[in-house]
Amino acid sequence: MELFEVIRARQSVRAYQSRGIEADQLNAILSAANQSPSAGNLQAYQIILIREQPLIRELVKATYNQDFIAQAPIVLVFCADTERSGAKYGEAGRRLFCVQDATIATAYAQLAATALGLATCWIGAFDEKKVVGLLGLRTGLRPVAILPVGWPAESPPRTPRRSVDELMSEVRRPTTESARG
Ligand SMILES: Cc1cc2nc3c(=O)[nH]c(=O)nc-3n(C[C@H](O)[C@H](O)[C@H](O)COP(=O)(O)O)c2cc1C
């Protein structure tokens, strides 16, 4: 698929087939994430792979019981590495850059999965402390996005979007005329 087709094809899918995912498909998704840009090229994120069903079912509880996640053969948890970015950028790295790094990687992974015909849904509603505890994340790793990945078992209607005109605004320097009032 061409890039713009992939972007158009991606949508949140919340039902998956029982079919598993091949190792090369998983590798393609992770390699795409690995190509994403990051602050200072630090790649201040860690991707946690979960494919054991009992663990996925435990994870569901930490997502306020978004049960459909348990249908997915694999789940990726994208974590911001606050220490890695903080070591170079201090507060901005800990608070913002590592979160941006992790979210961009998540977006790349979503698009790569779509290009392979796979489906995902970005899960942002979860109890952070529970996820940290369940996955035994080391200090400094902060989960920011949970991504179930599987073969689609539904074709939901497209979600609407704001118009580009509404979400974009242009700022121009005031002309000398208008500046004078
Ligand atoms: C930051 C973020 C958090 C989200 N959290 C959830 C979530 O917890 N559960 C869920 O089912 N969908 C979640 N979504 C998916 C959105 O609902 C979805 O992207 C949006 O409705 C647009 O639909 P589309 O992805 O099909 O284009 C989240 C998306 C983002 C970007």
CB-count burial class (<10 Å; 0-12, 13-18, 19+) for 143: buried
According to DSSP, residue 124 is labeled -
CA dist., res. 43 & res. 45, Å (int): 6
**Confidence (pLDDT) at 176:** 74
Q: Is residue 173 part of a domain?
A: no
Nearest CA to ligand 1 atom 31: 122
Domain count across the chain: 1
What predicted TM-score, i.e. pTM, was given to this entire model?
A: 0.96
Give distance in angstroms: CA of 30 to centre of ligand 1. 20
Instruction: Please work out whether the CB of residue 123 comes within 6 Å of at least one atom of ligand 1.
Output: yes
Q: Does 47 reside within a domain?
A: yes
Q: Does any ligand 1 atom lie closer than 6 A to the CB of residue 106?
A: no
- Residue 11 CB less than 6 A away from ligand 1: yes
Q: What is the pLDDT of residue 177?
A: 72
Q: What pLDDT does residue 141 have? A: 98
Ligand 1 pocket residue status of 12, Cβ below 6 Å: yes
What b/e readout covers 86-102, taking b as 16+ CB neighbours within 10 angstroms? beebeeebbeebbbbbb
- Look at residue 116 and give its three-state secondary structure: coil
Assess if residue 89 is contained within a domain: yes
Is 147 domain-assigned? yes
What's the pLDDT at 181? 59
Q: Is residue 96 part of a domain?
A: yes
Question: Per the domain annotation, does 38 fall within a domain?
Answer: yes
Residue 123 Cα to ligand 1 midpoint, Å, equals: 6
Among 11, 66, 110, 123, residue to substitute to test ligand 1 (most atoms within 8 Å of Cβ): 123
121 lines ligand 1 (CB under 6 A): yes
Q: Are 126 and 43 in contact (CB under 8 A)?
A: no
In a domain, 27, yes or no: yes
pLDDT in tens, the chain (181 residues): 899 999 999 999 999 999 999 999 999 999 999 999 999 999 999 999 999 999 999 999 999 999 999 999 999 999 999 999 999 999 999 999 999 999 999 999 999 999 999 999 999 999 999 999 999 999 999 999 999 999 999 999 999 999 999 999 999 998 777 666 5
Atom of ligand 1 nearest to the CA of 11: 26
DSSP class of 148: E
Q: Which residues constitute the domain of residue 113?
A: 3-156
| β-pair partners for 119 | 150
Separation CA 149–CA 176 (nearest Å): 55
Q: What is the pLDDT of residue 174?
A: 86
180 within some domain:
no
CATH number, domain containing residue 43: 3.40.109.10
Ligand 1 geometric centre to CA of 143 (Å): 16
